[in-house]
Amino acid sequence: MSVEDRVRQVVADVLGLPVDRIGLETSHQDVDGWDSLNVINMMMAIESEFAVELDADDAGRLVSVAAIVDVVRERIG
């Protein structure tokens, strides 16, 4: 599975939405449940999915699927 697809799946699992409703462009403005609590949950889920470690500044960047994909790409190099 591509990085994009894996991120979409993680976001879907954390938010409890079907994965086909999550696109690259999906952002915190489109989804009610994408709140501060779930940003932290996404952080933990992304770390666990990709076996990477994010830092505190990354939390502020987890605002859309595309942005999360960028963060992950930076970490996995």
Partner 1 sequence: MPPRSMNRFPKAADYFKRARDLEAGAAAPDQRDVTSVAVLSSFTADFLRPYLIVEAAELGLSVRPWFGPFGAFEQQVLDDRAPLWAQLPEVVWIAMRIEDVDPQLVHDLPEIGPERAAERLGHLRQRVVQLAEAIRARSTANILVSNFACPRPLDLFDASDPDGLSHLCAAENRELARALTRITGAHVFDWNGVIGGWGTARATDAKLWYLARTPIAADLQPVVARNLARCLRALLHPAAKCIVVDLDNTLWGGVLGDDGAEGLQLGDLHPGRAFRDLQYALRELRRRGFLLAIASKNDAALVGDTLASHPEMVLRPGDFAAIVANWEPKPTNLRQIAATLNIGLDALVFIDDNPVERAHVRAELPMVHVVEWPTDPLKFASALADVAVLDRPRLLADDRARAARVAHDQKRLALEHGAASVDEFLSGLQMVATIGAGDEIELPRIHQLIHKTNQFNLTTRRHPIEEIAQLSRSPAAAVRWLRLRDRFGDLGLVCVGIVRPSDDGTWEIDTFLMSCRVMGRGVEQAFLHDLVRAAIEAGARRIRGVYRPTPKNHIVADFYRQYGFAEIGRTGEAVEYEISEAALPSWPPFIEREASST
Residues that bind partner 1 (CB under 8 A): 9-10, 13-14, 16, 36-37, 40-41, 43-45, 47-49, 54-56, 59
Give SS3 for 30. Answer: coil
- 13 versus 70: smaller Cβ distance to partner 1: 13
Side-chain half-sphere of 8: how many Cα atoms within 13 Å? 14
* Residue (7 or 64) nearer to partner 1, CB: 7
**CB proximity list for 40: less than 8 A, separation 6 or greater:** 59
Our CB check for partner 1 shows the closer of 48 and 73 to be: 48
